[in-house]
C-alpha cells in the first residue's frame, strides 16, 4: 500500500515538473485521441498552453491533417501516400513543398521501424517501442527528440521532448505521422 502511494505521489510530481526541465529542451504534451480521421486535437507546450492544432480533414480520399498555429494559420500539412510498397506519409510546408517523408519499414519482426527523409537534411531513424510511445528520433547516434508516456499519469497522454536548434513543427508532425501509421 505504501509503495503504491509513493508511486502515485511520484507520478503527480512528474506531471507537475513536465515542461520545467533545465536541459534547454522543448517539451510538448500530446493526446492519443488523434487516430480518427476528421478529429481535431491540440498539442500543448510544457506550460500547458495550446501551441498547435492538428485539424483532421474528413471526407478525403487519402488521410490529410493540417498542422495549424493557435490563430488558425496552417504551418504544414500531413498526407497519407497511397499506392506505394511501403506505408508512408508526407509532411509539406504551408506552401506545399515537401519537408519530410515518413516511411514504415517493410520487414519488422518484433517492433515497428520508421525512417524519416528530411528535405535538405539528414535522414532520421525512429527507434524504440512505437506502440507504447517510448521511442527516440535521431540521426545516427545523436538523439534529437524523445517520445515518452512516462512523464504523465493520464492514460492517453504522452510527451515529446525536442533538443534545442531543431524544427519543432517538423518533429511534432513526424510524431503525428508515426502515431497515425502505427495505430
pLDDT digits 0-9 by tens, 91-110: 999 999 999 999 987 655 55
Residues 72 and 89: their CA atoms lie apart, in Å, by 22
Round to whole Å and give the CA distance between 144 and 37.
29
Quote the domain boundaries for residue 129. Answer: 2-182
pTM: 0.79
9-28 tens-digit pLDDT: 665 555 544 444 556 789 99
**Model pLDDT, residue 117:** 94
Q: State the CATH number of the domain containing residue 75.
A: 2.40.160.200
* Percentage of residues in the chain having pLDDT higher than 90: 40
Please name the helix (run of DSSP H) or strand (run of DSSP E) that holds residue 8, with its range, or none: helix 2-17
Q: Can you tell me the mean pLDDT for 50-70?
A: 79
> Total domain count for the chain?
1
Amino acid at each position: 500500500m505504501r509503495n503504491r502511494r509513493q508511486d502515485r505521489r511520484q507520478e503527480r510530481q512528474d506531471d507537475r515538473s513536465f515542461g520545467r526541465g533545465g536541459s534547454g529542451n522543448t517539451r510538448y504534451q500530446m493526446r492519443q485521441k488523434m487516430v480518427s480521421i476528421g478529429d481535431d486535437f491540440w498539442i500543448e507546450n510544457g506550460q500547458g498552453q495550446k501551441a498547435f492544432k492538428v485539424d483532421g480533414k474528413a471526407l478525403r480520399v487519402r488521410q490529410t491533417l493540417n498542422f495549424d498555429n493557435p490563430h488558425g494559420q496552417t504551418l504544414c500539412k500531413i498526407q497519407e501516400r497511397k499506392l506505394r510498397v511501403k506505408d508512408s506519409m508526407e509532411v509539406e510546408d504551408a506552401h506545399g513543398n515537401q519537408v519530410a517523408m515518413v516511411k514504415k519499414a517493410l520487414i519488422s519482426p518484433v517492433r515497428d521501424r520508421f525512417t524519416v527523409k528530411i528535405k535538405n537534411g539528414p535522414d532520421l531513424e525512429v527507434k524504440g517501442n512505437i506502440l507504447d510511445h517510448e521511442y527516440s528520433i535521431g540521426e545516427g547516434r545523436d538523439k534529437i527528440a524523445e517520445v515518452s508516456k512516462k512523464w504523465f499519469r493520464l492514460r492517453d497522454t504522452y510527451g515529446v521532448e525536442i533538443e534545442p536548434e531543431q524544427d519543432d513543427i517538423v518533429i511534432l508532425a513526424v510524431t503525428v505521422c508515426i502515431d497515425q501509421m502505427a495505430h
